[in-house]
């Protein structure tokens, strides 16, 4: 059985690597074409384009993991079945339970690799890619995110934003304005800021402190128009989508939202998705096992791979459907995030049972 596991692992790993190479190259090429149309904006050169594409590739690898594992596993297993190798293994006494155990051992390193990409490589790489894009295309504003919130340098002003909402409105805004000699002129605090167009923001709940040679004066206003080159497009760079965050960051952010009385459903669902996603790798491998009962009269290898692509895409979009429905209807986060995994795990066992009965 050890010989079977080693040989099966070699074939599956090679096929998965081949599928990854094709899929990642395809997605990277499509993004390259799109980014080339933006080349020339600001300092956005070909070097920046290639760096940006290279930095978003880890995200593609993470997102494509279940699909690549499913297609690669199906291709390897069907190829072995077409050469009667799977029949030889079963005839030599390898039971279905032993095959499942072998695939579990093969899939475990892939699960760990998927977790590492999703938790430690893809999120910071995506964030760095967005910062590279922003700095290359825009000269006037510099943005950086710290524990104290988002900090922006806008000409002679420094802006601190505690929270950026999905609609790009800003909460708890502090604006520190300096004169040409870099002396502090005013500090403006606002509870909320909404973009109204033409480089203008409407500040709400404003408290402004102005400094001069005689001292300082405090003014309170219900609203105030603020002119700034900071715009929603720039904020989108640092508006971290839940799907692009690590599970650890999502956990911390949900606690932050909960402490501030804001809804956490979308981020909790994304957190459970991150936790459950590596297990999808093992589910996809188990889903490929029934294809070992391959018969030439049922079609060629390409037809089996096509079925694998359909299964992988249905898993991907089905997971997004359950997650979005859960966020819209305030369903429990864990069932909303893991429902599609349980469904496909059940499908895998049903198909294996039917194959064994045959």
Three-class SS of residue 53? helix
User: Are 14 and 128 within one domain?
Assistant: yes
* pLDDT at residue 280 tops 90: yes
Residue 164 lies in domain: 141-228
Q: Residue 27 falls within a domain, yes or no? A: yes
Burial track 45-58 (b if 16+ CB lie within 10 A, e otherwise): eeebbeebbebbbb
Task: Compute the distance between CA of residue 110 and CA of residue 13 in angstroms, rounded to an integer.
Answer: 9
C-alpha 267: how far from chain center? 12
Q: Residue 100 falls within a domain, yes or no? A: yes
Tell me the per-residue pLDDT of 194-203, one tens digit each, with 9 for 90 and over. Answer: 999 888 999 9
How confident is the model at residue 140, as a pLDDT? 54
Q: Residue 169 falls within a domain, yes or no? A: yes
Q: Work out how many domains the chain is built from and give that number.
A: 2
Average pLDDT across the chain, whole number: 87
The domain that contains 216 carries what CATH number? 2.30.30
Q: Which of the 8 DSSP states describes residue 119?
A: I
Q: Residue 233 falls within a domain, yes or no? A: no
* pLDDT at residue 38 tops 90: no
Task: Compute the distance between CA of residue 227 and CA of residue 51 in angstroms, rounded to an integer.
Answer: 33
Burial class, 211, CB count within 10 angstroms (exposed 0-12 / middle 13-18 / buried 19+): middle
User: Are 126 and 200 within one domain?
Assistant: no
Q: Which of the 8 DSSP states describes residue 166?
A: T
At 90, the pLDDT band (50, 70, 90 cuts) reads confident
Long-range contacts of 275-278 (CB under 8 A, 24+ apart): 275/247, 275/337, 276/337, 276/338, 276/341, 277/65, 277/66, 277/114, 277/118, 278/65, 278/111, 278/112, 278/114, 278/115, 278/118
Compute the average pLDDT of residues 162-177.
85
User: Are 258 and 127 within one domain?
Assistant: yes
User: Are 203 and 248 within one domain?
Assistant: no
Compute the average pLDDT of residues 253-269.
81
Greater confidence, 177 or 152? Answer: 177
Could you say which of 194, 228, 262 is where a domain stops? 228
* Residue 326 tokens, joined: 């859960």
Compute the average pLDDT of residues 318-343.
91
Could you say which of 228, 249, 266 is where a domain stops? 228
User: Are 101 and 37 within one domain?
Assistant: yes
User: Are 173 and 111 within one domain?
Assistant: no
Task: Compute the distance between CA of residue 307 and CA of residue 279 in angstroms, rounded to an integer.
Answer: 21
User: Are 165 and 44 within one domain?
Assistant: no
* Residue 257 tokens, joined: 């939202």
How confident is the model at residue 275, as a pLDDT? 95
Out of 167-176, 286-295, 317-326, least confident range: 286-295
How confident is the model at residue 143, as a pLDDT? 64
């Amino acid at each position: 059985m050890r010989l079977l596991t080693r040989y099966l692992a070699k074939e599956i790993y090679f096929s998965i690597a081949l599928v990854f190479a094709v899929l990642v190259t395809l997605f990277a090429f499509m993004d390259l074409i799109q980014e080339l149309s933006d080349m020339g904006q600001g300092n956005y050169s070909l070097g920046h384009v290639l760096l940006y594409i290279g930095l978003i590739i880890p995200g593609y690898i993470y997102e494509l993991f279940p699909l690549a594992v499913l297609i690669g596993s199906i291709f390897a297993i069907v190829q072995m079945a077409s050469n009667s190798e799977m029949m030889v293994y079963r005839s030599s006494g390898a039971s279905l339970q032993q095959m499942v155990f072998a695939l579990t051992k093969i899939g475990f390193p892939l699960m760990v690799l998927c977790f590492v990409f999703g938790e430690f490589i893809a999120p910071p790489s995506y964030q760095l890619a967005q910062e590279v894009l922003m700095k290359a295309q825009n000269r006037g504003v510099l943005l950086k995110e710290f524990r104290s919130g988002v900090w922006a340098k806008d000409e002679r002003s420094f802006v601190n934003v505690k929270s950026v909402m999905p609609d790009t409105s800003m909460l708890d805004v502090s604006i520190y304005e300096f004169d040409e000699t870099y002396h502090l002129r005013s500090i403006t605090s606002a509870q909320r800021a909404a973009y109204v167009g033409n480089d203008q923001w409407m500040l709400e709940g404003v408290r402004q402190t102005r400094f001069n040679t005689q001292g300082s004066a405090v003014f309170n206003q219900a609203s105030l128009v603020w002119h700034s080159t900071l715009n929603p497009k720039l904020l989108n760079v640092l508006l971290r989508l839940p799907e692009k965050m690590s599970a650890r960051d999502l956990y911390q952010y949900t606690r932050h939202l909960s402490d501030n009385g804001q809804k956490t459903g979308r981020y909790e669902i994304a957190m459970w998705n991150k936790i459950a996603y590596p297990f999808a790798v093992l589910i996809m491998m188990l889903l490929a096992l029934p294809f070992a009962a391959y018969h030439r009269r049922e079609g060629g290898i390409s037809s089996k791979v096509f079925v694998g692509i359909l299964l992988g895409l249905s898993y991907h979009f089905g997971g997004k459907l359950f997650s979005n429905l859960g966020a819209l209807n305030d369903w429990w986060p864990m069932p909303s995030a893991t429902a599609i995994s349980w469904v496909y795990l059940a499908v895998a066992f049903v198909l294996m049972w039917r194959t064994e009965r045959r």
